[in-house]
Structure 1
């Protein structure tokens, strides 16, 4: 970077003041629903304006530095040009973007176009080619046979150039083993990487992904593996423990080698723990469902197992200190993947003394 730190921080402060004046910092809750600029420019006071990236995957680099990753959605959907949206989101405030296919359309062409736009719109201010992109998939962790039958979807998604897979309703440890060890990996024995019971199934067809990453096809094969199982890997793999059946097997599931991160899915858990009563028909949702004792017990179980298995814990974050997902509390608890808006990320990055530019 050519800008010196004093000028860098002065510019950030001015943008931060303007951002507050618009009321944007008073808004809470995740999601890219507003049309304002994708990055206010606000930097933590600890930022290094001469930062040089070490990795392709910005999220993994932050985790290696002991920093949380802040993510939001891609803003894609009906009526949105995926390529143009990729160009726009290349300069997002977020470290990572979740391409939502759990309930959104599973459209491989649209994902490829989004990734192409993201590449063409980069690099990020931190010097990375683009923010890390992971997909929340429609494939769930139902059972082993189901995952084997649907494993092709995960390979197709990675061939689009995304850098992470997130499996919903991770109920069965065997299903997660198939996904984490077979569907998203190549069949190679990588250096300094433990052997796992299942062998990868990805084939020699990831030319598009390599082009998006800016590497040769050969190089892609060497680095397109899951971290931290493979210390050199540039992919990550996550699971959602988000229903009462997943709860019964959570200890075995989160012990499966090849997982990077895990979350507890408060939205779906609310359905499973409280039933239809969780959704008031003619009233707004309760303000802080995550504060209920039954919900907190689920969260704590997943958090404890993430600590035990060296996984990154995912939780939403808010700047509201009265809420159960207050960002400082989340960071103090050890959350390392935060679904949030920019206002929350600004607070969190300052608290953790982050050096990587935003």
Structure 2
């Protein structure tokens, strides 16, 4: 296998959704167009959106969503980048703050740019944005001390939170039901939960980004699918051996929308230091087994497949949307195979828009791109 192809496979599958989003982020900076404009043959060009969050709308129609990175970084004006990314081929944008800079001012400017970008081809005001914050699902006390991070992020106008290292179900429940919600206990057609939300009264910036009044924002800025009117999606990463032990309880929490298995992190936890070494000129880690043999696709190792299988099974049991990286290359990570497996949140990886084009055609999507 030539180096270029091997690196492509590593980026799309071995390193997982994190690296996939990073490569997609590089694409959004200019090496590829923001959107080729290619539509699936099944598209309805007279499509009218039903709700603000286009990803939730697609899920309600049984369609997978495709996401990319924000393209924000050193030397990039976040407002101007937001204006460009409003026209992205992707349904969602992952604004990465786990390893990226926790800069709420830049995030606000990016969201303002999205708002001013002129709307999406599907008729939605802006693409869905979800944030991976720097706080993790460590334990309940840690989560209670850091609910402020969740509120500050949501007040920028984003529509999703994605928590890394979801180890403790109580921590995730705290971030979701306390940190992400208003204190109303009487949302129509919405089950009551044990924890009461602590979001404060004012979210004028977020309401302006969404294009609604403050009162309307408070009525729809709630967790879907817990609240059928909710426009906020909450996700978790089951990406270490501690999270593996509690995955059934975590994915059963009411209101959870999506989950992933974090192959990049899981490889470090399951396969140890010997599993990754400097990739040299290729720019990607070279992965070897204990005998020194190069492994082209770590996600296909038995212990990795077992983890993926458990997370996928729990997603299906709890009607949570499964997240996985996908590729255009043949094999088990090909986008059509991923969709057949049950993937509903697709990290497009090195294939970028091409992955989404193939997937949308396969599922006969009607919403324009």
Give TM-score scaled by structure 1 length: 0.91
1:303 pairs, out of 312, 325, 330, with 312
The aligned residue for residue 251 of structure 2 is 254
2:214 matches 1:217: yes
Partner of 2:195: 198
Residue 357 (structure 2) pairs with residue 349 (structure 1) = no
Q: CA offset at residue 122 of structure 1?
A: 2.6
| Correspondence 1:221-260 to 2 at 5 A | 221-260=218-257
Q: Cα RMSD (Å) of the superposition?
A: 1.3
Corresponding position of 1:339 = 347
Alignment partner, residue 102 of structure 1: 98
Unaligned 5+ segments in structure 1 are 1-25
- Structure 1 runs (4+) deviating above 6 angstroms are none
Greater alpha carbon shift after TM alignment, 43-52 vs 325-334: 325-334
Task: Name which of 21, 32, 38 aligns with 2:25.
Answer: 32
Residue of structure 1 equivalent to 2:171: 175
Cα offsets for 1:24-51 (capped at 9, x unmatched): xx99843221312100111100000100
- Tell me how far 1:220 sits from its aligned partner: 0.2
Q: Which residue of 2 aligns with 1:147?
A: 143
What is the count of residue pairs matched by the alignment?
332
1:287 Cα deviation after fit: 2.8
Shift of 1:157: 0.2
Change (3 A) 1:282 1:94: closer
Cα distance, 1:282 vs. partner?
5.4
2-structure distance, mates of 1:98, 1:58: 14
Q: Take 1:122 and 1:72, find their aligned partners in 2: how far apart are those partners?
A: 19
Aligned counterpart for 1:265 among listed residues 254, 262, 267: 262
Render the CA deviation track for 1:138-172: whole Å, top value 9, x for unaligned.
11000000000011000000000000000000000
Q: Is the partner of 2:26 in helix, strand or coil?
A: coil
Higher relative contact order (CA 8 A, sep 6+): 2
Separation of aligned partners in 2, 1:233 and 1:281: 44
TM-score, normalised on structure 2? 0.88
- 1:160-187 CA distances to partner (integer Å, 9 max, x unpaired)? 0000000000000100110111100001
Using the alignment, how far apart are the partners of 1:97 and 1:282 within structure 2?
A: 28
